[in-house]
Amino acid sequence: MRTFPIGGIHPSDNKKWSKDMAIEVMELPDEVAIPMIQHIGAPAIPIVAKGDKVLTGQLIAQASGFVSANIHSPISGTVKAVDIFPNGQGLHRQMIVITREGDEWVESIDRSKELKRECSLTPAEIIAKIKDAGVVGMGGATFPTHVKLSIPDGQKAEILIINGVECEPYLTSDYRTMLERGEELLTGVEILMRALRVERAVIGVENNKPDAVAHLRELIAKGNYRGIEVMALKTRYPQGGEKQLIAAITGRQVAPPPALPISVGAVVCNASTSVAVYEAVQKNKPLIERVVTITGKDIAHPSNYLLRFGVSFKSLIAKAGGLPEGDVKVLNGGPMMGRSVVAIDAPIIKGCSGVTIISGAEAERGKEQACIKCAKCVSVCPMGLEPYLLAKLARKQLWDRAEEHNTIDCIECGCCSYTCPSSLPLLDYIRIGKQTVMGNIRARAIKK
Amino acid sequence: MASRLFAAPSPHIHGGESTRRIMGDVVLALLPALCVSTYVLGWRVLLTTAIAVAACVLFEYLIQRFMFKRSSTIGDLSAVVTGILLAFNLPAGIPWWIIIIGALVAIGIGKMTFGGLGCNPFNPALTGRIFLLIAYPVQMTDWTTGIPDTVSGSTMLADVKAGVYGVSEIDFVAMLGGHMNGSLGEIGSFALILGGIYLLCRRVITWHIPVSILATMALFALCVAAGEGGDMLYKLPLFHILAGGALLGAIFMATDYSTSPMTHTGMLIYGVGIGLITMIIRLWGAYPEGMSFAIFIMNAATPLINKYCRPKRFGTK
């Protein structure tokens, strides 16, 4: 069974808490806050003002540049404020606050449930619709999908890879989506293949989800989806990393930055993104909701909810039975790469595939000890780096040497910190080094 | 009790590995060999080991507390491992004060001078052994003192080198069970291999260093034996792997983390180097045994090996 070539770890997957909970539709919130940055790239620019009436699915903020994404209202009602508020990480962001009145949708959106397979649009038309709908990568990186699909001149896509790996422990939203929305997902894949003009698509799923693999294979056979195959991959974190997944499926390695996946002919989209693409293209439905897992060992009712963006972390947590007592960490995402939420009143946005609640004991960091040079961090690094050295160089602020040792290759998967027997916060230091070095590289480019 | 939010960067979970657990595993892996030695050589083995461990732990504690004025690090069990390995490199009946001097050199000079765990360029236990070997050559090669009922005389390596008897006359089954002269811990070949397998299963070590050392030695011996032919073709390689400190060195001493290379390629180069140097000393050097010097020399080469053997960067050829 295939997997990526180097490094990786096997954290316990902890998916049992929420994996068997079917997707529930969460009731509509009375008020939502919609940040203008929910994607990688330039923030969107609000086109509504305080007091405006908006409909569900109406464009409320416009992409400001090529790498940016439109934002639509997830509910209908009145704009209460357009102002600066803290997001989940406590960073101040421009947001549009809307108070709900009923649920009036924009008329052009097809809200019927039946599957619409046929698509006769040209690639350019498909990409335009995806762009209008504000679709971004829903695996967490939130890269605008229309940018990914716009292949630069002189390069050609050969294979579409759908990321159904969900290697992050605890999270089950992609898994439930594959089980419950398989046909929409596969139709989305067909549309993406059409947009990219590729004949072959591979859906990568780890073999800890055999039912998802079997289910998708059955749907492919039954619905005669041509050129799409499901590949079961050997479970190993971080298989969902874009470069790791491409290597696992095609055997080809994307060269170090700034090379992109397209350099080996691959385009990778997340499984949930594929559903969003289907809805955008076939149903004219913009990206205003997604499936979010709420999970954790001490949570009363872990589950998977289909919710509108702008709902607060707090209300989702309340739905699951509230925060457990004592020290807790609320994570936007899973325990390996998720971000700590410091303001639980803040809204859930496009890139949030799950909210994981971790107890103080589970998240406790061990006491830092001296590096014993056991080289375990080197052997688990999926990028072939030397984490102990990069951390040391960052600690000593030797930025040039950190650059020589390719610190910008780091994908921040956290395997090194997870494995370190001396409990060294390797990734904390490497992140500082990586950001500084990337800043230095940009500064040099400007000087030239 | 209310809930209290706290925050930190990812990753938010840890695999549970610790230095203490790793060192604990090494101690466990050394126990079978200790049992064999005690069975063969008697209670003095336990006394020698106990003195070495106690002295190493005490010296580390004192140096940390009163010279570095830092909190004690003896809880990581690394001083215990150094103590056991030092004892394993001594004759079982060596006078107690020599053990204590060895421990002082191992911990004081071999380890703490460089800043403690992880910073030492040379294996601390080996530093202690080599110091003693040079300072007290008589006591360090006297395999009889204080041990009743044991065969006197020198080690097999020395006997073979001096031509007392030939390799073809050796009973290898008895060797596996510990019936040979030598340092306290190096005699139980089978038990040492068992410990090595345990460390491999627990992923404390990888196969690269021990296998490359032993394979190089065996291959070297095979080339030498090629001239003689016959059953020497398997007996000489087997003899060199089982005799002296080859197994103890390859499995437990050369694999010391901070003094061995970080990448698998580096480990292989390091292992081949140790194997070669050991055989050169054993066959043509002044000493019958060459393992400690070989590891010591390759310890010195480790920073250089690390510099040139980098892991393969993802996406490059």
Q: Return d(Cα A19, Cα A214) in angstroms, integer.
A: 16
Sequence length of chain A is 448
Cβ distance A372 to B19 less than 8 Å, yes or no, reads yes
Cβ distance B11 to A418 less than 8 Å, yes or no, reads yes
For residue B288, give how far its alpha carbon lies from the nearest alpha carbon of chain A (Å): 32
Closest CA relative to residue B237, chosen from B258, B252, B254, B216: B216
pLDDT at A141: 84
Chain B residues near residue A332 by CB distance under 8 angstroms: none
Average pLDDT over residues A261-289: 96
| Token representation of residue A151 | 């292949």
**DSSP readout, B93-156?**
T--HHHHHHHHIIIIIIIIGGGTSTTT-SS-HHHHHHHHHHHH-HHHHT---TT-TTS--S--H
- Look at residue A294 and tell me if it is in a domain: no
- Look at residue A329 and tell me if it is in a domain: no
Cβ distance A256 to B9 less than 8 Å, yes or no, reads no
Q: How far is CA B226 from CA A179, A251, B162, B232, in A?
A: 66, 44, 21, 8
CB contact at 8 A, A65 and A42: yes
Interface of A with B in 157-216 (CB under 8 A): 169
pLDDT digits (tens, 9 = 90+) for A32-89: 999 999 999 999 999 999 999 999 999 999 999 899 999 999 999 999 999 999 999 9
In a 10 Å sphere around its CB, with 0-12 CB exposed, 13-18 middle and 19+ buried, how is residue A296 labelled?
buried
Residue of chain B nearest A256, judged by CA positions: B315
- Look at residue A275 and tell me if it is in a domain: yes
**Number of domains composing chain A:** 2
Residue A254: pLDDT over 80: yes
A145 and A252 in a single domain? The answer is yes
Cβ distance B12 to A363 less than 8 Å, yes or no, reads yes
Cβ distance B3 to A335 less than 8 Å, yes or no, reads no
Q: Return d(Cα B55, Cα B61) in angstroms, integer.
A: 10
In a 10 Å sphere around its CB, with 0-12 CB exposed, 13-18 middle and 19+ buried, how is residue B156 labelled?
buried
- Look at residue A351 and tell me if it is in a domain: no
> What count of CB pairs under 8 Å joins A to B?
166
pLDDT at B148: 52
| Token representation of residue A120 | 């006769």
Q: Return d(Cα A175, Cα A271) in angstroms, integer.
A: 9
Reported confidence tier of residue B152, pLDDT bands at 50, 70, 90: very low
For residue B128, give how far its alpha carbon lies from the nearest alpha carbon of chain A (Å): 20
Greatest Cα pair distance, chain A, in angstroms, is 64
- Look at residue A306 and tell me if it is in a domain: no
* Last residue in a domain, options A283, A302, A336: A283
Closest CA relative to residue A146, chosen from A123, A128, A119, A125: A128
CB atoms within 10 A of CB B166: 13
Q: How far is CA A153 from CA A126, A150, A263, A294, in A?
A: 18, 9, 12, 42
For residue A177, give how far its alpha carbon lies from the nearest alpha carbon of chain B (Å): 25
CB contact at 8 A, A376 and A419: yes
pLDDT at B147: 54
- Report ipTM (2 d.p.): 0.91
Reported confidence tier of residue B151, pLDDT bands at 50, 70, 90: low
Closest CA relative to residue A408, chosen from A377, A431, A389, A392: A431
For residue A426, give how far its alpha carbon lies from the nearest alpha carbon of chain B (Å): 10
Residue B223: pLDDT over 80: yes
A328 shares contact with chain B (CB less than 8 Å): yes
Interface probe with A: pick from B1, B5, B13, B208, most Cβ of A within 10 Å = B13
Nearest by CB to residue A414, choosing from B10, B311, B315, is: B10
For residue A417, give how far its alpha carbon lies from the nearest alpha carbon of chain B (Å): 7
- Look at residue A232 and tell me if it is in a domain: yes
Phi, psi of A131 (to 5 degrees): -65, -45
Closest CA relative to residue A15, chosen from A202, A227, A250, A210: A210
Angle formed by the axes of helices B291-308 and B124-135, to 10°? 140
Q: Which residues contact A231 (CB under 8 A, 6 or more apart)?
A: A2, A202, A203, A204, A205, A249
A142 and A272 in a single domain? The answer is yes
pLDDT digits (tens, 9 = 90+) for B121-142: 999 999 999 999 999 988 888 7
Q: How far is CA A60 from CA A53, A100, A289, B63, in A?
A: 11, 15, 15, 67
A335 shares contact with chain B (CB less than 8 Å): yes
* Last residue in a domain, options A264, A283, A302: A283
Cβ distance A325 to B2 less than 8 Å, yes or no, reads yes
pLDDT digits (tens, 9 = 90+) for A334-370: 999 999 999 999 999 999 999 999 998 999 999 999 9
Q: In which domain, by residue range, is A432 found?
A: 376-447
Closest CA relative to residue A310, chosen from A106, A104, A77, A66: A77
Average pLDDT over residues A20-25: 96
**Residue given tokens 């040492």 in the structure block:** B192
Q: Which residues contact A442 (CB under 8 A, 6 or more apart)?
A: none
Interface probe with B: pick from A10, A295, A418, A426, most Cβ of B within 10 Å = A418
| Token representation of residue A213 | 């693999």
Is the backbone of residue A136 left (phi > 0), alpha (psi -120 to 50) or beta?
beta
Nearest by CB to residue B3, choosing from A323, A331, A428, is: A323
A376 shares contact with chain B (CB less than 8 Å): yes
- Look at residue A303 and tell me if it is in a domain: no
Cβ distance A342 to B7 less than 8 Å, yes or no, reads yes
For residue B23, give how far its alpha carbon lies from the nearest alpha carbon of chain A (Å): 11
R_g over Cα of chain B: 21
Interface probe with B: pick from A328, A339, A374, A405, most Cβ of B within 10 Å = A374
Q: Return d(Cα B124, Cα B107) in angstroms, integer.
A: 6
pLDDT at A110: 95
Q: Return d(Cα A9, Cα A4) in angstroms, integer.
A: 11
pLDDT digits (tens, 9 = 90+) for A193-244: 999 999 999 999 999 999 999 999 999 999 999 999 999 999 999 999 999 9
A260 shares contact with chain B (CB less than 8 Å): no
Phi, psi of B92 (to 5 degrees): -60, -30
Cβ distance B6 to A384 less than 8 Å, yes or no, reads no
Mean pLDDT of chain A: 95
A128 and A277 in a single domain? The answer is yes
Q: How far is CA A117 from CA A46, A120, A145, A225, B110, in A?
A: 34, 10, 21, 10, 72
Cα–Cα–Cα angle for A258, A262, A265, rounded to 5 degrees: 140
pLDDT digits (tens, 9 = 90+) for A380-429: 999 999 999 999 999 999 999 999 999 999 999 999 999 999 999 999 99
Cβ distance B312 to A384 less than 8 Å, yes or no, reads yes
Q: Return d(Cα A436, Cα A210) in angstroms, integer.
A: 42
R_g over Cα of chain A: 21
pLDDT above 90: percentage of residues in chain B:
65
Residue of chain B nearest A340, judged by CA positions: B7
A275 and A389 in a single domain? The answer is no
A392 and A271 in a single domain? The answer is no
Cβ distance A370 to B263 less than 8 Å, yes or no, reads no
Residues of B with CB under 8 A from a CB of A: 1-15, 17-19, 21-22, 73, 76, 78, 115-119, 206, 257-258, 261-264, 310-316
A262 and A393 in a single domain? The answer is no
Phi, psi of A305 (to 5 degrees): -115, 140
Looking up residue A151, the CATH number of its domain turns out to be 3.40.50.11540
| Token representation of residue A22 | 């079917």
For residue A329, give how far its alpha carbon lies from the nearest alpha carbon of chain B (Å): 5
Interface of A with B in 103-162 (CB under 8 A): none
CB contact at 8 A, A163 and A271: yes
Cβ distance A338 to B118 less than 8 Å, yes or no, reads no
- DSSP state letter for A407: G
Cβ distance A366 to B18 less than 8 Å, yes or no, reads yes
pLDDT digits (tens, 9 = 90+) for B167-209: 777 778 777 777 777 788 888 889 999 999 999 999 999 999 9
pLDDT at A201: 97
Residue A133: pLDDT over 60: yes
For residue B98, give how far its alpha carbon lies from the nearest alpha carbon of chain A (Å): 29
pLDDT at A300: 94
* pTM higher than 0.90: yes
SS (H, E, C) A379-405: HHCCCCCCHHHHHHHHHCCCHHHHHHC
Cβ distance A259 to B13 less than 8 Å, yes or no, reads no
Residue of chain A nearest B315, judged by CA positions: A255
Q: Which residues contact B272 (CB under 8 A, 6 or more apart)?
A: B212, B213, B216
Beta strand ranges found along chain B (DSSP E) = 3-5
pLDDT digits (tens, 9 = 90+) for B238-267: 989 988 889 999 999 999 999 999 999 999
Cβ distance A374 to B1 less than 8 Å, yes or no, reads no
Q: Return d(Cα A350, Cα A292) in angstroms, integer.
A: 10
Cβ distance A324 to B3 less than 8 Å, yes or no, reads yes
* Last residue in a domain, options A229, A260, A283: A283
A274 and A400 in a single domain? The answer is no
Residue A21: pLDDT over 60: yes
| Token representation of residue B202 | 């627990």
A414 shares contact with chain B (CB less than 8 Å): yes
Residue of chain A nearest B257, judged by CA positions: A374
Residue of chain B nearest A14, judged by CA positions: B13
Q: Return d(Cα B107, Cα B112) in angstroms, integer.
A: 6
pLDDT at A287: 97
Cβ distance A375 to B257 less than 8 Å, yes or no, reads yes
Interface probe with B: pick from A372, A390, A415, A429, most Cβ of B within 10 Å = A372
Average pLDDT over residues A254-264: 93
Distance of CA B117 to the CA centre of its chain: 16
Interface probe with B: pick from A262, A339, A369, A431, most Cβ of B within 10 Å = A369
- Look at residue A70 and tell me if it is in a domain: no
Lowest mean pLDDT among A111-125, A184-198, A374-388, B167-181: B167-181
A142 and A252 in a single domain? The answer is yes
